[in-house]
Structures are given as structure tokens and as C-alpha cells.
């Protein structure tokens, strides 16, 4: 292995993602405008411009910016009065998803996932509905759209709220529509690790002006005007500096998506046929993905190494893949005693969490580096299968 690593090791570490930053010169110009205005936060001009620009880019009508995606999701539940009972969600997600349920006094009910998309399995969702169920909280994991039609049918049939965690799905389209336009509310995350970023940040996309107005009160302490506090709100505002950063980021997001698409295509071309490595699904008809992640499944028998051994071996070459999402949220101590968290109820999620590995992908990942990562994966397989 040492010999192999010496030959193929990358000259500098490659991480799972890296943000593409806007021009510092242009950001300085925006900062000068903020300095001149002395308006630093509370829905200033940059905040308003970013909300409008995001609506235009995403093809949605009502969007509220937030300081991060977690607070946005917390407020989404409050806005729809989901603050007791049970909500059906996926265990194959980032911990923020079940945590916002917990913080709202709701019991998460974990449901197994689809083996291809890794998203909530609609038939199993329906089987978990009880008189205590108030909502469904699916995640478009890795930007792969959920079965939005089936989930809409189920939520309508049972009178449930449908709130999407689209933290990974900026710019994704399904059935000719923005993925952010489905359900009662959709949350987006603009964290630094995301395709489109405001450093920290997020948004809620609402289906109506009235719901957006309620959300805008809730994210500003419930304050309607100087003398009126309409409800128990919180502070979820995005400031002017980050909004200005977001406007510059937005100008380059389509170039970033195209560049990630090229990285994804290169991985696919080079890794096709590598035994024991299952590549992410190709876009289904009507789906436009954003290629924000490149999750592979590692089958130990055929690849020759299991996921953990491959993850550790890649580090020797300075390739820092990530085990998203291991451990499953159902295994987090706060949730693992829940009946729905039992591993035998979540066989697909348990297997995927054991096998999944997200390879590095970002717009500025050079073609020769992608080629080298593919060479390393082939070499590791060949070495492992020689025994
Ligand atoms: C699926 C998912 N949901 C929620 C979040 C939380 O978003 P934020 O970091 O913007 O609070 C993240 C990631 O950060 C995520 O990956």
C-alpha cells in the first residue's frame, strides 16, 4: 500500500467539497455600500435583492431568507403549527432534520428509504401514519428528488403537512418544476458546504404570500411593527454582508452546476464497470439534478474492501471522502430508543449507511485530479482482489 500511495498520492489534500468564492474586489464594492448605508441587518436592501433574485433563479414566488437552514426548518414547523405529536422522516439525513422535530416537541418517526434514491419510501410512510401523525418531513438527499407525487397523494389523503428538507437540492427540477415548489414549505440550506452559499444561511419557500408573511414575523421575534408582536418568534434573520455575498454567489451558480456536472460525468466514465462500486442514479425523466454530491455504494465482496477500509485507504492518498450519512440519525443517542429507530425496521437505510461514501466533487476539482482519484479506486480494487 505504501508503494501504491507513493505513486498515486495527490500533491495536496482533496476534500469532499470546496466553495467557489466570488471576486474579492466585487465583494469589497458591496461592503462599501453596506458601510455607506450603515444598514447591517433587519431586512435591508441586499436582503431584499437576494430574496427577489433567488425567487427568479429558482422559479418560485415566495421565499424568506434565514441565518441558517436549521432555524429555517424550526420556523417551518412553527409556522405550520407542528409542535406536538409525531412527524415521519428519514434516518438517512444530517442530524439537523430530526433535531428540529425534537426542539419543536415532536417525536420523529423514522421510515425506511428507497434503495436507489436513498429517499423516504412512500409506501412505508403510509404504513407509519397514526392518529398522532401531523406531518411528513422528507429530505431530497444528495439533491435527488423524492417521489413528490406519491408523497403529495399521501399527505392529502391523510390531511398531513408536507415539509421538505431540500438542503442539498438548490436548483434541482422535477417534472418541469423547481423542487422547492412542492409541499407546504421547503427548506434550503446555504451553508458553506452547499452548492450555493451565503457562508451560513438558508431559506424557506412558501406556497402563499400569507404563509411567507407569517414566516417573516416568526423569523423576526414575531414583531409586526414597533408596537405589535404577533407571536412567539425567534431571531432567524440573514444579515446584509451575507446577503451581498449571496448575490455575487448567485451570479456564478449556473457555471458551478455545469462544472460539477462535468466532474460527475468524468467519474461516471472512469468508474463504470469498476466491480463493487455502485454509482449514483442517472437523472430520471423530467429531473435536472445539481450534481452537488457523488455518493457511491461499496460492496465489500465485489470491490475487495468494505466502505470503512476504502475510506481509510483513500486518506493515505490524501483523498478525503465522507461517510454521509453514517451513523444514521436513528442511531443518535437521543433517538435510538424510539421504536421506529430499531435497525430491523430500517434495513435499507442500515445497509446504505454501511456502504455509502461521498467522493470529492466541486466545480474547481480539476479533471486530472478526478482522473487520479479514479486511478486510485481502480488500483485499490485490483490490489484487494489479488488478495
Ligand atoms: C439534509 C440537511 N438538513 C439540514 C441541514 C442544516 O442546514 P444548516 O447547516 O444550513 O443549518 C443540513 C446541512 O447542513 C443538511 O445536510
Atom from ligand 1 closest to the CA of residue 70: 11
Average pLDDT of every residue of the chain: 97
The answer on pLDDT for 58 being more than 80 is yes
Candidates 3.40.30.10, 3.40.50.2300, 3.40.50.10470, 3.40.640.10; CATH matching 24-251: 3.40.640.10
pLDDT of residue 14: 98
Distance CA 315, CA 329 (A): 25
Contact 191 CB / ligand 1 (< 6 Å): yes
Query: In the chain, where does the domain assigned CATH 3.40.640.10 lie?
Result: 24-251
Atom from ligand 1 closest to the CA of residue 202: 10
Contact 89 CB / ligand 1 (< 6 Å): no
Contact 94 CB / ligand 1 (< 6 Å): yes
Atom from ligand 1 closest to the CA of residue 96: 4
Query: In the chain, where does the domain assigned CATH 3.90.1150.10 lie?
Result: 2-18+253-321+360-386
> What is the rounded average pLDDT of the residues 347-355?
98
Contact 189 CB / ligand 1 (< 6 Å): yes
**Ligand 1 geometric centre to CA of 4 (Å):** 37
Q: How confident is the model at residue 386 (pLDDT cuts 50, 70, 90)?
A: confident
Contact 165 CB / ligand 1 (< 6 Å): yes
Contact 204 CB / ligand 1 (< 6 Å): no
The answer on pLDDT for 83 being more than 80 is yes
**Ligand 1 geometric centre to CA of 71 (Å):** 10
Q: List pLDDT tens digits, range 233-252.
A: 999 999 999 999 999 999 99
pLDDT of residue 6: 74
> What is the rounded average pLDDT of the residues 204-225?
97
The answer on pLDDT for 1 being more than 90 is no
Q: Which of 167, 187, 292 to mutate to test the pocket of ligand 1 (most atoms within 8 A of CB)?
A: 167
Q: What is the pTM of this model?
A: 0.97
**Ligand 1 geometric centre to CA of 376 (Å):** 30
Atom from ligand 1 closest to the CA of residue 193: 14
CATH number of the structural domain 2-18+253-321+360-386: 3.90.1150.10
**Ligand 1 geometric centre to CA of 143 (Å):** 12
Q: How confident is the model at residue 213 (pLDDT cuts 50, 70, 90)?
A: very high
> What is the rounded average pLDDT of the residues 36-51?
98
| Long-range CB contacts for residues 30-39, cutoff 8 Å, separation at least 24 | 30/244, 30/245, 30/247, 30/248, 31/241, 31/244, 33/244, 34/240, 34/241, 34/244, 37/240, 39/240
Min mean pLDDT across 7-11, 82-86, 200-204, 371-375 is at 7-11
pLDDT of residue 374: 98
**Ligand 1 geometric centre to CA of 153 (Å):** 26
pLDDT of residue 65: 99
**Ligand 1 geometric centre to CA of 324 (Å):** 12
Q: Which of 94, 185, 242 to mutate to test the pocket of ligand 1 (most atoms within 8 A of CB)?
A: 94
Print the SS3 string covering the chain. CHHHHHHHCCCCCEECCCCCCCCHHHHHHHHHHHHHHCCCCCCCHHHHHHHHHHHHHHCCCEEEEECCHHHHHHHHHHHCCCCCCEEEECCCCCCHHHHHHHHCCCEEEECCECCCCCCECHHHHHHHCCCCEEEEECECHHHCCCCHHHHHHHHHHHCCEEEEECCCCCCCEECCEEHHHCCCEEEEECCCCCCCCCCCCEEEEECCHHHHHHHHHHCECCEEECCEECCCCCECCCCHHHHHHHHHHHHCHHHHHHHHHHHHHHHHHHHCCCCCEECCCCCCCCCECCCCCEEEEECHHHHCCCHHHHHHHHHHCCEECECCCCCCHHHCCCCCCCHHHCHHHCHHHHHHHHHEEEECCCCCCCHHHHHHHHHHHHHHHHHHHHC
Contact 274 CB / ligand 1 (< 6 Å): no
- The x, y and z cell numbers of residue 16, run together, are 469532499
Q: List pLDDT tens digits, range 291-350.
A: 999 999 999 999 999 999 999 999 999 999 999 999 999 999 999 999 999 999 999 999
Residues in the chain: 387
The answer on pLDDT for 5 being more than 80 is no
pLDDT of residue 194: 98
pLDDT of residue 329: 98
Amino acid at each position: 500500500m505504501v508503494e501504491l500511495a507513493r505513486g498515486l498520492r495527490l500533491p495536496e489534500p482533496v476534500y469532499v467539497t470546496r466553495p467557489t468564492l466570488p471576486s474579492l474586489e466585487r465583494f469589497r464594492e458591496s461592503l462599501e455600500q453596506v458601510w455607506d448605508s450603515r444598514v447591517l441587518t433587519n431586512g435591508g436592501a441586499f436582503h431584499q435583492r437576494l430574496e427577489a433574485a433567488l425567487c427568479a433563479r429558482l422559479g418560485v414566488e415566495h421565499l424568506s431568507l434565514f441565518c441558517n437552514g436549521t432555524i429555517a426548518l424550526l420556523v417551518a414547523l412553527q409556522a405550520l403549527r407542528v409542535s406536538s405529536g409525531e412527524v415521519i422522516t428519514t434516518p438517512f439525513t444530517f442530524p439537523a432534520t430530526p433535531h428540529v422535530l425534537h426542539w419543536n416537541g415532536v417525536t420523529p418517526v423514522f421510515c425506511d428509504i428507497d434503495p436507489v434514491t436513498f429517499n423516504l419510501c412512500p409506501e412505508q410512510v403510509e404504513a407509519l401514519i397514526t392518529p398522532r401523525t401531523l406531518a411528513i418531513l422528507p429530505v431530497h438527499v444528495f439533491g435527488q428528488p423524492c417521489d413528490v407525487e406519491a408523497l403529495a397523494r399521501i399527505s392529502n389523503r391523510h390531511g398531513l403537512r408536507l415539509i421538505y428538507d431540500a438542503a442539498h437540492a438548490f436548483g434541482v427540477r422535477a417534472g418541469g418544476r423547481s423542487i422547492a415548489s412542492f409541499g407546504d414549505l421547503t427548506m434550503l440550506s446555504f451553508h458553506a458546504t452547499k452548492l450555493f452559499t451565503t457562508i451560513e444561511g438558508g431559506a424557506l419557500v412558501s406556497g402563499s404570500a400569507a404563509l411567507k408573511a407569517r414566516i417573516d414575523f416568526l423569523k423576526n421575534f414575531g414583531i409586526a411593527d414597533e408596537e405589535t408582536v404577533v407571536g412567539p418568534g425567534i431571531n432567524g434573520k440573514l444579515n446584509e454582508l451575507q446577503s451581498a455575498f449571496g448575490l455575487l454567489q448567485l451570479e456564478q451558480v449556473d457555471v458551478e452546476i455545469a462544472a460539477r456536472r462535468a466532474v460527475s460525468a468524468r467519474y461516471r466514465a472512469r468508474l463504470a464497470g469498476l466491480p463493487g462500486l455502485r454509482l449514483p442514479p442517472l437523472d430520471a425523466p423530467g429531473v435536472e439534478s445539481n450534481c452537488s454530491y457523488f455518493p457511491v455504494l461499496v460492496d465489500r465482496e465485489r470491490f475487495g474492501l468494505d466502505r470503512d477500509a476504502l475510506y481509510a485507504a483513500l486518506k493515505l492518498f490524501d483523498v478525503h471522502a465522507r461517510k454521509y450519512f453514517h451513523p444514521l440519525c436513528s442511531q443518535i443517542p437521543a433517538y435510538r430508543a424510539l421504536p421506529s429507530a430499531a435497525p430491523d425496521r430500517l434495513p435499507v437505510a442500515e445497509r446504505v449507511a454501511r456502504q455509502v461514501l461521498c467522493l470529492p466533487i466541486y466545480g474547481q476539482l480539476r479533471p486530472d485530479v478526478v482522473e487520479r482519484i479514479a486511478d486510485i479506486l481502480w488500483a485499490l480494487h485490483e490490489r484487494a482482489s489479488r488478495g
